[in-house]
Amino acid sequence: MAIYKKNLVSFVVLNWNGIHDTLLCLESIRKQDYPDVEIIVIDQGSAEDQKSTLRSISDIKLVDLPKNTGFTGGQIEALKHTKGEYIALINNDSVISPDWTKIAVSSFGKVKKIAAVGGRGYLWNDDLGYKV
* CA distances for 4 relative to 57, 86, 109, 129, angstroms: 24, 9, 18, 34
Q: How many domains does the chain have?
A: 1
Residue 125 domain-assigned (yes or no):
no
Residue 105 domain-assigned (yes or no):
yes
Tens of pLDDT along 25-44? 999 999 999 999 999 999 99
Whether pLDDT at 121 is above 80: no
Tens of pLDDT along 85-97? 999 999 999 999 9
What DSSP string runs through 42-53?
Answer: EEES--HHHHHH
Residue 128 domain-assigned (yes or no):
no
CATH number of 9's domain: 3.90.550.10
Q: Which domain holds residue 62?
A: 5-118
Tens of pLDDT along 52-81? 999 999 999 999 999 999 999 999 999 999
pLDDT score at 124: 61
- The total number of residues shown for the chain amounts to 132
Q: What is the rounded distance in angstroms from the CA atom of residue 109 to the CA atom of residue 105?
A: 7
Residue 20 domain-assigned (yes or no):
yes
